[in-house]
Amino acid sequence: MQFEVLTLFPELFPGALAHGVTGRALSAGVVGLTLHNLRDYTHDRHRQVDDVPYGGGAGMVLKPEPIFEAVRARQGSGPVILLSPQGELFNQRIARELAQQPDLYLICGRYEGVDDRVASHLVDRELSIGDYVLTGGELAALVVIDAVSRLIPGVLGAQASPLDESFAEKLLEYPHYTRPPVFEGHAVPDVLLSGHHAEIERWRRQQAEARTKRRRPDLLS
């Protein structure tokens, strides 16, 4: 799968994506990452990408012209996504939807925001990674790329892994334990040492449901 990112700060990539399973996927070509510097699509000697907002107010707004030009120059056919605090909340369901696409084009906002004609006339979708404001969309883009990449066949070692994780079926993941069997007086639950696979699966399901009810009851509703 190919990811394209339009940003004012291409040096922020690949960042954390260069490590672990995503790093191996990038090295192996299972996942591709192409960066576009927004200033490369400007035509004035100052390479200006922002301007003051109409109607007044603090901050600067990213201009529409270079963003439109950049997106229209792309080769891919997948959705164009604007990372924005006003977007729909990114979750595992959306990650699964995006993982079915041949490629994604991610636009990273900056400053006070992006000219609204980008959102209303250019992009296919706006996504937010949470109800808070970041200094730019680059961190959000890294999160989206990471979450989607690990759902691409060949990225994770065990193909069953993403099926068992938190949010895979609107449940938080069950507790995990490893050696030693007893640590500082705290023992691993006996059922996990029993070798009885049906009982283990039943326990894990019960634990996932109880944990979700306690920590994230909104998922059950």
- pLDDT tens track for 78-111: 999 999 999 999 999 999 999 999 999 999 999 9
Indicate whether 167 pLDDT > 70.
no
**pLDDT at 216 exceeding the cut of 80:** yes
- What are 85's two structure tokens? 């605090």
The per-residue pLDDT for 138 is 98
> In this model, does residue 157 exceed pLDDT 90?
no
The values of phi and psi at residue 34, to 5°, are -120, 130
pLDDT at 161 over 60: no
Q: What is the mean pLDDT of the chain?
A: 94
Higher pLDDT, 125 or 159: 125
Tens-digit pLDDT profile for residues 36-81: 999 999 999 999 999 999 999 999 999 999 999 999 999 999 999 9
164: confidence class by pLDDT, cuts 50, 70, 90: low
Q: pLDDT value at position 159?
A: 55
More confident residue, 169 or 188: 188
pLDDT for the residue 170: 82
Q: What was the pLDDT predicted at 158?
A: 61
Specify the pTM: 0.89
pLDDT in the model for residue 180: 96
CA geometry: angle 129, 134, 136, nearest 5 deg: 100
Could you give the CA distance from residue 89 to residue 127 in angstroms, rounded to a whole number?
A: 6
Amino acid (one-letter) located at 110: R
User: What pLDDT, on the 0 to 100 scale, is given for residue 76?
Assistant: 94
Residue range 7-31: average pLDDT?
98
Q: How confident is the model at residue 168 (pLDDT cuts 50, 70, 90)?
A: low
- The CA–CA distances, whole Å, from 156 to 41, 45, 145 equal 36, 46, 14
Task: Read off the pLDDT of each residue in 146-151 and give the average, rounded to a whole number.
Answer: 98
Which domains are assigned to the chain? 2-149 (3.40.1280.10), 166-220 (1.10.1270.20)
Residue located via tokens 């998922």: 219
Average pLDDT over residues 147-165: 79
The pLDDT score that the predictor gives to residue 192 is: 96
Report the half-sphere exposure of 7 (CA within 13 A, side-chain side).
24
Residue 42: helix, strand or coil by DSSP?
Answer: coil
pLDDT over 80 (residue 165): no
